[in-house]
Every structure is written in C-alpha cells, then in structure tokens.
Structure 1
C-alpha cells in the first residue's frame, strides 16, 4: 500500500512538473474580455476580440494538432490567405503517424500514468499557431472512432488503452470503444475514469490558456446524455476555477437530436453543432437542408434563453459522390453557402479522402474549389452585413426554377443566392420601397457587377382585393452560373 501511494504521488508530481513547463511557455490570454463568445448584438453569431465574426474554414485533417512544423503552419497560412478563420480539431490518434498520449516504455508497452511529452507539445504548438493567426479552433474532446473498427477507422489492437498494450490495466478492463466511451461512467469503471479525468485535466490546463477555443464533447455521439453532460459539466467547472468562460456543445449523429439536447440543457451548452445536416446519409440535399436550419433557429429562439449560435464544423461532399453517404462536391459547395444564408454561425469543408484515389472521400478539404469558395464568401461578407440580417422567405421562384435562398435586413438590404441553373426570383421587399440598387456577384469570376437602379414593379391589381397591390422585384442572373444578387433600398 505504501509503495502504491508513493507511486501515485510521484506520478502526480511528474504531471505537475510537465504542466508547469507548458504554463511557463504559453502566454496568458485568459481574462482579457475578448475571447470567442456569442455576439452581444446578435447571439445567433460569434464575436471575437469584441467584433462579430462569421466562422468559415477548410482543412485537410480533423486532428490538425498532430501535424508539426511547416506542415501545419503552411496549411494554416494557406487557409488564412483565402479568408479562412476556423478549423476543426479532434483530440484523435487513429491515423498512422499520430502520437499517443501515454508514454511508451523500452519494452513496447505503455505506462498510462506517464505522459508522452511530445504529444502535449504538439497540442501547445497548434494552439499557439492558430492563436497567432486568430483562427478559431473547435476542439473535440472524445472521438470514439479511435477505438472502434479497424484500419483508418480505429487502432484498438495497437492502442495504449488496450489492456494488452499497457502495464496499468488488468486484462478485460476494457474490451472495446463502448467500454471506454460511455461505459466507463455507466459501470463506474474506476481505473478508466481515473485516466480520463487525468487526461481531461491535462488537456484543459493547456486549452484554458487560450481565448480562441470552442469545445465539443463528442464526435458523432450516440453515447447518451449522461456521458455528454458529465464531461460538459466537468470542463465548465474547470474553466470556472480558472476564471474563464467557455462555450460547449456536443455533436450527435442526428442533427435534430443535437439541437434538442443542447436546448434541453442550456445551463451546460451554449451553442448547437449540426454537421450531420451537411451529408447525404443523415442530412438532406437542396432546400430541405436550408429549411432545417431555419426550423432549428426558430425553435431555439422560442426558448427562454433565446438564440444561440448554430455551428457546422463539417460540410460533407466530394467529387461526383462515389461516397454516397457524403454526397457530391457540388452539393458541398451549395451547403456551404446555404449555411450562411440559413443564418448559421459557422461552416467548414470536411477533410478529403482517407484513401488514395479519393473514391471514399468525405469532403473537399482545403482544395482549390474550397479556396475559391472561401474567397467568394469573404467578398460577399465584405458587402453584406449578415450579423444584422436574418434568413428571409418572402420570395418565390418562377416555375421550373432551381431553389434559391435569401437573407434580409428588412427594409434596408437583401441578398439572394442563386446556386446555378435556370433561375428567376420574385422578391417581395415587404415594406414599401420605390427604388433599389441591385449589384450582381459572379461567384465563379469573384467579381461584382455595376450597380443598377431599379424601381420594383407593382403586381397586378384589379381594385377588388382587400390586400391591395404589392411591389415585387424580379431578379434573374445573366446565365446559368452561380450568382448572388445584392439589393439595397434607396427610397
């Protein structure tokens, strides 16, 4: 017993010494009042350093922190150069070349009571570099795919958490991903819980030094409310002890369930994550994708606490859609735009193919198409104030038109997104306007056209309707490419 206590004390002291080194290196950004948080002027969006910010991004890896040196910094620089300010980062270790958290001994086995210093140094470097560039990080604590399946989808056979591979756990302590994720809490598996607490304590002691991190408990979770709420409460308590305010969500498989969950526990969660709305397997294509966002926004707004941000850290779709669960590249780009026109607070292209050839790719990552889209989005956001606008439904498409999407700062400005194809829209400004200016943004050419002054037409009125006439603005692009019409009221 005495030897056991000495060993525990020694391990705790080593952890303190290691963390002390990190704390000495990392600047203190906590408590400056400018961290990422819901926008005070419109809590459906985020603000950073006191200014509203639309989070848009694309990257080629889910766990970017596992990259080092110029491989990471050049990727971040490229994304930032085309207008990206948002990345996903799972604390995952399922890819070849990824480091594990536990220290490996000379005999090949792992000691779960000792950390691999290089693991935490990679995370510190990643947080430093993203913070320098003011790139917001959405950090996922647990990714159950790390211990499930085989190959690129899990490495349980070689993972330190497999009792066969460590010196700490008796055989059978855990047998699969379910035992570690969710099962540890449900079955009060104390050795596993002790490790999890120590891991999260170490992670949070580093992450809480920064002001640009959003927190997600699980990736595509089906582990239940007890597990998710436990860790959400745990990290919020850690933040409170450190004098920090953090913002937490949990991503579930069904996007609607994700929204219900965070709405039910608004004392724990402060934003929703609906990435599964952005794929063919669990989400819709076309207008239904946009309709979902509008519905969830309305339901959240009806709660006593009012609006909160809706994030989309993964937008699926690649190529011609050989991965039928993900969808096509065309749909991915349109989903990216629809998230913005649906009033979402963030949107990011998911990582590309895991295998050579790309036939099983989930997203387009930071490809040339993604870079072009980020440039286009920023040119649009520079001209249209989304933070004072809302998704707008007072418009109609002519028969046989493709679906289009609109936002409006009612009576002041309107934006209509035409994904491409044969499209004509009748826009009702709702308030009486005599003159408007119209500018067309050619998304493919990344160019704005000349401003035109237009007088909306009266609709036909025979004098018998009690409603009376309305002014309608007809908008039609010059060709079948993707465009945005920007309409501003003059009179």
Structure 2
C-alpha cells in the first residue's frame, strides 16, 4: 500500500496540525480539538475486539489513543514473515500484522479518534521479549551475532541502554546491517500511516538513548512524508521523570526535528509539583508554543505510580494547565477506560459546552484562601472560569473588573450533567465552596 499524496484528516478534511489560532492545541479538519482518552492496552492495534473497544472509547467522549508498534504480549503478531517455527526472514512481511495495523488506522479514522504512534518500544528489545524477537540474530535468517553486533541475550532492564539496536544510526555506531531492516519497517509503517491525517508520531517509549537516535528517525519519517506530499508531526518521549531536566531540551530546543512535546513522565509527579512542572514546560516553550501531550497518565489503585485518585487529579491538572492531549494509561499502571475513567472523559465534553479549554489559560493567582493542591483554575478573566477541586474544599475567586453576573454550575460526574446552578455577582472576590468531598469541577460563565 503506498502513502496517499496529501493525506487528509478524518472524514477527508485537513490533517491534524498545531492550530494557527492557538498553537498550544491541535486542529483537525480546520477546527480546534481537545484530545482525551483512555484505553486498555499500549499496542492497541494488536488487541482482540478492537472495534468494540474503539466504540466504547468514542461513546465515553474519547478521541485519542496510544499505539506502540510492540509485539511482546501473548497473541501478538510480528511484522516479519515466520519462515519456520520461531525463525523469521526480515526481508519478508507478515501480511496479517500489517492488515491489523491498516484496519486499526481505518477504524480510528472512522470514529474521529487521533492515534499517537510510538515507533520503537525499548521493552521489546531486552529481557524475555528479546529472546523471541525477530531482530535477535538467533531468530532470523538475515544476519549472525557477529555480523549484526547484537547479542542473543540482554537480561537487564532496558533503561541500562546496553542494547546496540538503539545505536545503529550513522552518528552513533552506523550499523547498516541492522539499520537497513529498521529503515524498511519504518517505511512499511509509513506506507500505511501516511494515507491518514489523524496520526501523530512519537519515536520511542521512555527512551534514554543518545539524542542522535531520535533525531535520525524523526528526519527519516519527515523525509518519507515529504516525498508523499504529507506533513507529519513528531516528538520524542524521554525516560527522565523531571520534564524540566536537560535531556528534555533535546526536544524543546529542536523545532527543526520536532513539532510537539510529550511529557507523560511528568505523571510520576504528585500534587502541586505535577502542576508546577506543566507550567514550567509551558514557560520553556512560551516564545514558540506547540502542543503538549500526555499520552499515558499513571495511577491506579494498587499500582506503583499513584492511585486512582492521583490519575484523576493528573488528568484535570493537565487540562487546566493547558495540555493539548491527555490519556489514562492502560491497567495495571493506569485506569484505562475503566468505570473510574469514563465519567471524567464525559465530563470534559460537558464542560466544553460552556468553556473551550483553548480559550482559557492557567490562572491560579486569582484564587485565594487556597491550600496546597486544593484547587486549580483556568480562566479567560472576565468571561470564563473552570475551577477544579481535588478533594472538596473552599476557595475565593477574584472577579474584580468583571461587572457581569455569572452562572455557576457544577459537573455531576455520575449523570454527566450540570447540577446546583446559581448566580454569582461579579466585580468582587467571591467564595466558592465545593459540594462535598472528592473531585469537583465547576464552570462560571456570564449569565445570559
């Protein structure tokens, strides 16, 4: 399948791109769009009952999924042809694998769901998954250990960066024996994905590789897109949990390579620090804004990186902090598309009926009598305010200079409806009390 020249967005409209009106956010088919989601697997194209899961995501208000090009779970297919039991030919394709991928792209396009691909997932290339990987020289007919420089075993965590697979590019080890097959699989991926305008490209999952690795693949993908008369958007996902650390500047400082940021690792942070880091990244990018993504929000009861309440808090802080996209990570590290996640995805769409997030900006300075991590505010002062309480509480909002009367309404998460509407007189500081404990979201807009 060849990439279609000038591939469009869903429904054949304009493809996804940073908005000309507000480049912190995406637009597609000529309109601004906020991307939110939750899904139950990383390599979504490989799951059974995929169409049903996509229907459920769309029904919950989701329009954003993550898709790693991973093959390490039971039942997954590999991209290459298996010529004998456990042995692959890297010069032949597994058509069934690529049909899965093509179907996935078609079905997400039909449902207006944006796909963020991760081209390389380091967890496929170390420990147990490496033992059965087609790239392992003992599992293919194309090269030996000596020819490839790849060992049969990499028993340590991939964070140790011991795998030469991620050093094949010209500015590192220039390993053409292996890289020719890497290039071929990326070209094959693009032969499908460039026909669709609802696809974003992340090069790696939680990488600690030399920046030259990501730079090479971003350039390769963009050159492939240019040849097909398509514009695509790429980023890198770094492993470091401090998204203001030096390594992340390998994305922030290189608009010639990348055109959005993914700060998923920030959801290892909790409370106010999570919010502060979002705002720090916005400040870093403020002179030339581009969309900021969070394709995996960690946190689930019993998980290692925060509980379910943490996941929900991170989701709403992302939204009020101005992120373009946010998705609940798959279980068990996240809440996926669970009964805990669905009401919050639906709540976002309810809030959008009265307040578009791209019309707002973070404005916690307008809050008073606020405890640490108690409440967060995004606003277009004088017109719109979205207030989020992490677990009930009471704060003041400075409405001075806004003589209008405001309508105050609360989100009923259980019913996906507005509740407890009242009027608030402007041009003063007002006290807003949450309705109870737990997460609370309220919108103040000018009363009609």
TM-score by length of 1: 0.83
Paired residue for 1:246, among 211, 228, 232? 232
Q: CA deviation at 1:452?
A: 2.1
1:231-286 deviation per Cα after TM superposition (whole angstroms, max 9, x unaligned): 0011011111111111111100123346522221111211000000112xxxx211
Instruction: Report whether the alignment pairs 1:143 with 2:121.
Output: yes
Q: Which has the larger radius of gyration?
A: 1
SS in 2 for 1:406: strand
User: For the residues of structure 2 that align with 1:239 and 1:199, how far apart are their CA atoms?
Assistant: 15
Distance verdict in 2 for CA 1:117–1:399, change over 3 Å: closer
Structure 2: runs of 5 or more not aligned: 155-161
The aligned counterpart of 2:249 is 260
1:202-246 deviation per Cα after TM superposition (whole angstroms, max 9, x unaligned): 111111000100000111011021001110011011111111111
The aligned counterpart of 2:157 is none
Q: CA deviation at 1:66?
A: 1.1
1:154-206 deviation per Cα after TM superposition (whole angstroms, max 9, x unaligned): x1111111111111111242124611112454211111011111111111111
User: For the residues of structure 2 that align with 1:113 and 1:30, how far apart are their CA atoms?
Assistant: 31
- Higher strand residue share: 2
Q: CA deviation at 1:481?
A: 3.5
Structure 1: runs of 5 or more not aligned: 1-18, 353-360, 458-470
Q: CA deviation at 1:437?
A: 2.5
Q: CA deviation at 1:295?
A: 1.5
User: For the residues of structure 2 that align with 1:81 and 1:267, how far apart are their CA atoms?
Assistant: 37
SS in 2 for 1:368: coil
TM-score by length of 2: 0.91
Distance verdict in 2 for CA 1:220–1:214, change over 3 Å: same
Instruction: Report whether the alignment pairs 1:231 with 2:217.
Output: yes
Instruction: Report whether the alignment pairs 1:204 with 2:184.
Output: no
SS in 1 for 2:286: helix
CA contact (8 A) 1:401 1:424 kept: no
User: For the residues of structure 1 that align with 2:344 and 2:443, how far apart are their CA atoms?
Assistant: 18
CA contact (8 A) 1:28 1:210 kept: no
Instruction: With a CA cutoff of 8 Å and minimum separation of 6, indicate the structure with the bigger relative contact order.
Output: 2
CA contact (8 A) 2:206 2:237 kept: yes
SS in 2 for 1:265: coil
Q: CA deviation at 1:453?
A: 2.2
SS in 2 for 1:92: coil
User: For the residues of structure 1 that align with 2:120 and 2:372, how far apart are their CA atoms?
Assistant: 44
SS in 1 for 2:101: helix
The aligned counterpart of 1:98 is 76
The aligned counterpart of 1:318 is 300
Alignment map for 1:136-175 (pairs within 5 Å) = 136-150=114-128, 155-172=129-146, 173=148, 174-175=150-151
User: For the residues of structure 1 that align with 2:59 and 2:334, how far apart are their CA atoms?
Assistant: 20
Distance verdict in 2 for CA 1:40–1:259, change over 3 Å: farther
Distance verdict in 2 for CA 1:402–1:189, change over 3 Å: closer
User: For the residues of structure 2 that align with 1:419 and 1:446, how far apart are their CA atoms?
Assistant: 18
User: For the residues of structure 1 that align with 2:363 and 2:18, how far apart are their CA atoms?
Assistant: 22
CA contact (8 A) 2:169 2:213 kept: no
Q: CA deviation at 1:107?
A: 5.3
CA RMSD between the two structures: 2.1
